Structure 1
Amino acid sequence: MGEHKHYKESGKFSPVGAVLMVLATAVCGGLLFWLYLLFEGWCTIIYLNVIAAIAVSCALGFVGGKIVRAFKMRNTVVAVACAVVGFLLASYFKWALYDYNDLKKYGYELMGEYTAYDYYDELNMLFDENTDGFGDYYDFYHQTKAYDLFSNDSTGDFTDEDIATMQKKSVWQFFELDKLLGKDKKSAQKSLEKSYTMNAYDYTYDFRKYDKTGLFDIIAHPSDLWNDIKSINKEGRWSYKSSHSSRDNGSLVNGTILWIVWGSEFILLLAFLVGGVRIKSKEPFIESEDDWAEYKNLKDAYKFMVPEDIKSFKVSMEQSPYTLFDYQTAVTQFLPTYMVIDCYVSKSGNENYLTVYQQTINPKNKNPDTKVLVKNLFVDGDFMNRLYSLANFAPQMQDVQQTPQ
């Protein structure tokens, strides 16, 4: 680093730190997404859910910045890449959790509303509820290829892959009736009789002892998760009147519009994380001390007049930062346009970085509009000592007439 130059990140990072940053981002993001989905499932007001998404995004940005500092990532490209990878892992968990919650609320709930016979198409399609000839059905479905049974009028409902399988398997094998009904004729008939009276949920998980799909089962099968997401998108889960699934609360949003909504949410959640990581990774790091410089907000401690020629001022600052002192005025002096500063300082005081801002009072709201004039310019310890000795006050400007705001 030469004298009077701007700070430039070193690009250094620890490979171990990069891996830990990915994991930390994924874990923290997953926790925030869990809270987000918890709120989304409770709140029915769509506008509040949008605010919640913004809040989560801001939290991700804050957490991302803290992780950058913790692992001393001075390479913005690597830091952002690690954050994005961690975010993608957290997003995968978010969608798996969303699918799991949807399964519990609408899959299991729906199963409780129908008998097993009505719920499972393969039962009401293959068996007559009133027939006593179960044995004949049992033998026929074991001996007949599925394709031979449905080729005349129903193959349009099956995919090419299904048809290829139907040509190889019997009806009983194709519909996995061993699992749904039983492996022998007696148990299968008993199960079919139970399906007439038991709801699908009790029949499936209590009587037939199916294993319930857990969150980790969904996580472990990404292709099944993707199929579930497509299915949810096709059906829709919320209307313009509500923020989550509502089958009787207006037309459900689905298809292309829902993909756009989900994509916009993804971008919103990612944007603040990338922004927070990028900003923090570019903050001055003191390599000789192996630590981040300390930020000093000096905007209220010093005020400077704006030079007539901003371009010349910037050149002069490059040549000698002490040029700034030629423009210092009392902080109580009213100026519609003025300059303020902040700094990043090292522990030793020998390596510091100064930023100069131009602020212009907005006549509408009386708040200053800010523009950066000089960004992270190197200043030495002598400059900082002189700056501290002149805080709040410039002797040469004491006699200037003060104008009330």
Structure 2
Amino acid sequence: MQRDLYYKSSNKVTPVGLIVLLLATFVVGSLLSFAYLYAVQAVKMIYFRILFVVVLGVLSGVIGALICKSTKVRNRALAIIVSIIGVVAFNYVKWAAFIHLIAEEYSADFGSRLQRLPELLLNPIQLIAKISLLNESGTWVINNSSEAVRGVPLAGVWIVEFLIIMIAHLFFIDEKVSKPFIEKDNAWAEELKQTFYFREFVGTSHASSIERDPYILLDNVEDGPISTGMFLEGDLFVSSDKSENYLRIKHVTVTNAARSKRTERKIVNYLSVSKDFVDRLIDKASPQI
């Protein structure tokens, strides 16, 4: 039986895994949202607000990725759909908690009675009405001398905040569920700790050349990253007996050697390679005594 050129997921998933992912995303995201709200109330600077939003998305995404790993979710589409639902759900809680938190401060707009959180959670129409009132009055200023941001600009800020949370969260989910899963081991492929480095080689396309013959890399192995110019960087993902292995290659361009700045892009993503290739690459890249 001929093996696929690249890793192809089985897309297997259990209902329990998806339910746990959804609940974990919702619960963890809601708890992180409470912390986020108190943080932005304590620190009013816009730069910190952006930082807190990114942290919220990253932390919730990392937890979601860990759930995908432990429950062995390898259906990328379902993992992303469930994660989107979870993120939307905990953002709903975040909004209800936000309105509850500032209700007393905005009592002139919201009414004198303090809005209880359960009441807001169970009444989305009321919550939307409060958000609309909040948009009209504004919530924060850019500096001490400016008026409160309101209307379309404020709505735009809210949308951007939501997108930052969603994109950051989904990045970690996608990164996890896209990695190779070895069905015969019933486990994720082991990512070798060793990183492999290669000189650039002559060819119309690095990707197509490597696809045709991965062994071309063995003639271009370097001991470590090249400090200037461009080079290739590789990672190996292997099964327990190395009978099923995958190679990931990035093209790296050093933009500022003094500051260790570089840009990179994936050119080969989980190419299937043989045990012989893996053994020879490890041997070639190992320090020779």
Q: TM-score, normalised to structure 1's length?
A: 0.64
Superposition CA RMSD, Å = 2.7
1:359 is matched with 252
| CA-CA distance at 1:233 after TM superposition | 1.1
Match of residue 237, structure 1, among 139, 146, 151: 139
| CA-CA distance at 1:363 after TM superposition | 4.5
| CA-CA distance at 1:72 after TM superposition | 1.7
| CA-CA distance at 1:236 after TM superposition | 1.5
| CA-CA distance at 1:392 after TM superposition | 3.8
Amino acid at match of 1:68: C
Match of residue 125, structure 2, among 220, 223, 226: 223
Gaps of 5+ in 1: 112-119, 121-199, 202-211, 243-248, 396-405
1:132 is matched with none
Amino acid at match of 1:37: L
1:321 is matched with 214
Q: Is the 8 A contact 2:222 2:285 kept in 1?
A: no
Counterparts of 1:190-339 in structure 2 under 5 Å?
213-241=115-143, 250-299=146-195, 302-311=196-205, 314-331=207-224, 336-339=229-232
Change in 2 beyond 3 A, CA 1:361/1:30: same
| CA-CA distance at 1:222 after TM superposition | 1.1
2:152, 2:158 → 1: CA distance? Answer: 10
Match of residue 264, structure 2, among 370, 380, 385: 370
Change in 2 beyond 3 A, CA 1:74/1:100: same
Amino acid at match of 1:70: S
Q: Is the 8 A contact 2:200 2:231 kept in 1?
A: yes
The SS at the match of 2:7 is coil
Gaps of 5+ in 2: none
Q: Is the 8 A contact 2:203 2:209 kept in 1?
A: no
Match of residue 348, structure 1, among 241, 254, 269: 241
Q: Is the 8 A contact 1:13 1:75 kept in 2?
A: yes
2:256, 2:139 → 1: CA distance? Answer: 47
1:54, 1:262 → 2: CA distance? Answer: 13
Change in 2 beyond 3 A, CA 1:366/1:268: closer
Amino acid at match of 1:258: L
1:26 is matched with 26
Change in 2 beyond 3 A, CA 1:325/1:236: same
Change in 2 beyond 3 A, CA 1:34/1:349: same
1:295, 1:284 → 2: CA distance? Answer: 9
Equivalenced residue count is 287
Amino acid at match of 1:381: K
Q: Is the 8 A contact 1:305 1:328 kept in 2?
A: yes
The SS at the match of 1:237 is coil
Q: Percent identity?
A: 27
| CA-CA distance at 1:327 after TM superposition | 2.0
Q: TM-score, normalised to structure 2's length?
A: 0.88
1:332, 1:28 → 2: CA distance? Answer: 39
1:386 to 2:280 alignment? yes
